Amino acid sequence: MKVIPLAFGFIAIVLAVLSLLQGIKEVRIARSARGWLATAATIVEGTFVPISVTVGRARRTEFMVKLVYQYRASAILMTGTSIRSDNMPVTFLTPAAANKYIDSLRANAALQAWVDPENPSRAVLERGKITGIVVSFWTALFLGVLGAFAVFIGLPA
């Protein structure tokens, strides 16, 4: 019995399960936001910050949008910063694309924020996106197959 492949395999399988559980959590959050209430919103501030992203072996700079917006919940003026209900950042490859997105939100007279009726301090501008489960699923599948293969190699013949 080979201990290193077995240990590696079990660790990969545990990470696969954790990745899948994270994806399921993100789906639940996104689905719960579908029942949130719509209210008018106004962009107060819109900026972007450069972030370093690793894609394969290459590193590149993307531009993450940061917004501050106001909305009304129960006649109280509130401030929000969350864009998406799945908590994934909104990023663009160029500063011009990030600015175009921010400007399109500022120009949108009918911009809506989606407010959690159980907690009005929680609001998002985009709701119901479930992109996280796709990433989590493929990560879990890759790690699961890799882990199963390593366990198979480590088992006695």
Q: Which pTM does this prediction carry? A: 0.66
Buried b (16+ CB within 10 A) or exposed e, 32-61: ebeebeebebebeebebeeeeeeeeeeeee
Ordered by start, the domain boundaries in the chain are 9-35+128-157, 37-126
Do residues 69 and 41 touch, judged by C-beta distance below 8 A?
Answer: yes
Tens-place pLDDT, residues 10-55:
888 888 888 888 777 777 777 777 788 999 999 999 999 999 988 8
Q: What CA–CA distance (Å, rounded) separates 88 from 37?
A: 21
DSSP element (H, E) containing 100: helix 95-107
Closest CA to 106 of 52, 132, 70, 79: 70
Tens-place pLDDT, residues 97-145:
999 999 998 888 789 999 999 999 999 998 765 666 677 777 888 888 8
